[in-house]
Chain A
């Protein structure tokens, strides 16, 4: 995909940039239900989406919205929804069906503190839900985690592109802060995303063609196992789409692994620790599924310790530990429920590791 960008630099909220990018990615439909901290997406689209280009609809609930996405995606339309954590939980039955039906669509979770109704402040506690399926059955989502307003816009294009390439739902997992804050952004231009040809779409019976049928169930378990095998084959292929960002990894004694907003806060902690003479590198997974396991395995043989920082009780750290497989100690620091760590707190954790493991400056 060749992305071209506007010359103009704008100042936009993450949610608004994402919504504008959806218009520029030429979506045919958006179905959603308002929930803080992402309601601006629905608001922006209802104000700015040209009705001649498709439909923007506020459904009666998240459950209705995801099933509208299911139906529209099945008819070959480019469609999306957005919500925040509790709303995502409601949608998961439908998400599992869409994954089973192998339909492309864009899901957006501007997540907030949980569990339960939780808070409306930023959180990354939906990592498990996003990357391990979430709904029932053996399915995976393609998961992209932006860490800036620019990426909130860019990843709409990337996620739709991947969803259509693999006929699989793709999720943008962001958080309340990235949704609400304003930063400079250059928007991708309309036309950057090629229109796809859904020859599998269920659009009615044509005289010259067999009817397309989209199924998510089978009476015979052997048929269901074959569908599962097909899905697993697809997920294996997906591994080649892994994306991550490395920062100051040369000569790093300690490696931080963090995604999204936490990675931004860790960047600042890196600046502080640099003044103290210890070199700390940062790996930021951009795709949470597929996960950059191979790169983490390689780096774990070079560094003396790994610190995973998340806005949860420790979720991605499990995937990091699997990749590290005992090559070096893996530490964790997290804040929960919508609270954020300060760069100083992360620096303090790094200092503890330096002292405990007597890492030389």
Chain B
């Protein structure tokens, strides 16, 4: 089956935006797809907000620059304001409820708010909030399989951080669980 997904991750620096994208890209590589990961490296990165786009495709990727996205993972208000209109009709928008006051009012996309930071605090490692969100994304889409994401953790995390893999795995699975519940509701 043809696969072609364009995903935007956006939020504050420190929320793990770039690594979320990187892990997804490595999972795509794991499954043998063409992948492209493009970070914002510009002044916006220095000013606090960061974003990266990921393309995962079964065909050769022509333009590495995306203008419209199948999924948006928007973790702060400026990112919501900037990218909500750029999600394709029928696409998915995941956002962090703790950071966003004004949510997109579009009714042609699937919008899901997650309290990932709260959940991560419950797990006593607030840095894994991004993995909870990534887990939710994996659960609600068919971009890649969770097994590939778990495998990708080993590729992306440097050796000295490999002791953190179990907690990241736990967070990914937690995210899937939360998203699954939301779907059922």
Complex CA gap A119/B43 in Å reads 9
Q: Compute how far the CA of A47 lies from the CA of B76 in the bound complex, rounded to whole angstroms.
A: 35
- Is B37's CB under 8 angstroms from A182's CB? yes
Instruction: Give the CA-CA distance A293 to B41 in the complex, in Å.
Output: 36
Contact of A344 with B41 in the complex, beta carbons under 8 Å: no
Of the candidate stretches A136-144, A230-238, A262-270, the one touching chain B is A262-270
Q: Which residues of B pack against A, CB within 8 Å?
A: 22, 25-26, 29, 34-39, 41-43, 61-65, 67, 155
For window 254-300 of A, CB contacts with B under 8 Å fall at 261, 264-265, 267-268, 270-271
- A181 touching B36 by the CB < 8 A rule? yes
Listed by A's residue number, 24 A-B pairs whose Cβ atoms lie within 8 Å are A11-B26, A11-B35, A11-B37, A11-B155, A36-B41, A120-B42, A120-B43, A177-B38, A177-B64, A177-B65, A180-B39, A180-B41, A181-B36, A181-B38, A182-B36, A182-B37, A183-B35, A183-B36, A183-B61, A183-B64, A184-B29, A264-B64, A268-B62, A343-B63
CA distance A9 to B31 in the complex (A): 12
Say whether, besides A184-B29, A267-B63, A119 and B36 are in contact (CB < 8 Å). Answer: no
Q: How many A-B residue pairs have CB under 8 A?
A: 62
Most interface-central of B22, B39, B63 (chain A CB within 10 A): B63
Q: Which of B38, B39, B42 has the most CB of A within 10 A?
A: B42
A55 at the interface (CB under 8 A from B): no
Within 8 A of B (CB), among A74-113: none
Bound CA–CA A271/B60 (angstroms): 12
For B29, what are the chain A residues with a Cβ–Cβ distance below 8 Å?
Answer: 9, 11, 184
Q: Is the CB of A182 within 8 A of B65?
A: no
Instruction: Give 5 nearest A-B pairs by CB, closest first.
Output: A267-B62, A268-B63, A182-B37, A268-B62, A181-B38
- Is the pair B42, A121 in contact by a Cβ cutoff of 8 Å? yes
Instruction: Verify B41–A264 contact, CB threshold 8 A.
Output: no
Query: Which chain B residue has the least Cβ–Cβ distance from A345?
Result: B67
Question: In the complex, what's the smallest C-beta–C-beta distance from B64 to chain A, in angstroms?
Answer: 5
Contacts of A173-211 to chain B: CB distance below 8 A: 176-177, 180-184
Q: Report if A214 contacts B (CB, 8 A).
A: no
With a CB–CB cut-off of 8 A, which chain A residues contact B67? 342-344
* Chain A residues with a Cβ closer than 8 Å to the other chain, count: 26
Max count, chain B CB within 10 A of own CB: residue among A119, A267, A268, A338? A268
Min CB distance B29 to A, Å, is: 5
Question: Which B-chain residue is minimally distant from A180 (CB atoms)?
Answer: B41
Distance in Å from the Cβ of A347 to the closest Cβ of chain B?
Answer: 12
User: In the complex, which residues of chain A have a beta carbon less than 8 angstroms from the beta carbon of B61?
Assistant: 183
Identify 19 new A-B residue pairs, CB closer than 8 A, beyond the known A120-B43, A182-B25, A340-B65.
Answer: A11-B25, A11-B155, A120-B41, A120-B42, A180-B38, A180-B39, A180-B41, A181-B36, A182-B36, A182-B38, A261-B64, A265-B63, A265-B65, A267-B62, A268-B62, A268-B63, A270-B62, A343-B67, A344-B67
B36, B37, B41: residue with the most chain A Cβ atoms closer than 10 Å? B41
Residues of B within 8 A of A114 (CB): none
Contact with B along A320-361 (1 / 0, CB 8 A): 000000000000000000101011100000000000000000
Contact A264 B34 (CB under 8 A): no
CA distance A268 to B37 in the complex (A): 17
Residues of chain B within 8 A of A343, CB atoms compared: 63, 67
Q: Which residue of chain A lies nearest to B152 when distances are taken between CB atoms in the complex?
A: A11
Q: How far is the CA of A182 from the CA of B55 in the complex (A)?
A: 10
> Given the complex, which residues of A lie within 8 Å of B34, measured CB to CB?
184
> Do B42 and A119 have beta carbons less than 8 Å apart?
yes
- Chain A residues whose CB sits within 8 angstroms of the CB of B26 once the complex forms: 11
Q: Kindly list chain B residues whose C-beta atoms are within 8 Å of the C-beta of A119.
A: 42-43
- In the bound assembly, the distance between CA atoms of A9 and B35 in angstroms comes to 12
Distance in angstroms between the alpha carbons of A332 and B155 in the assembled complex: 43
- A302 smallest CB distance to B (angstroms): 24
Q: Are B62 and A182 in contact (CB under 8 A)?
A: no
Residue among B26, B36, B37, B62 facing the most chain A CB atoms (10 A cut-off): B62
Name the B residues within 8 Å of A264 (CB-CB): 62-65
List, in ascending order, chain A residues with CB within 8 A of B38's CB: 177, 180-182
Report the minimal beta-carbon distance from A8 to chain B, rounded to whole angstroms.
11
Question: Which A residues between 117 and 135 are near B, CB-CB below 8 angstroms?
Answer: 119-121
User: Which residues of B sit under 8 angstroms from A184, Cβ to Cβ?
Assistant: 29, 34-35
- Distance in Å: Cβ of A286 to nearest Cβ of chain B: 17
For the complex, what is the distance from the CA of A181 to the CA of B37, rounded to whole Å? Answer: 6
Bound Cα distance A184, B29 (Å) = 8
Chain A residues near B42: list those with CB within 8 A: 119-121, 338
A169 at the A/B interface (Cβ < 8 Å)? no
- Indicate whether A314 reaches chain B with its CB closer than 8 angstroms: no
A154 to B67, CA, bound (A): 29
The answer to whether the Cβ of A146 comes within 8 Å of any Cβ in the partner chain is no
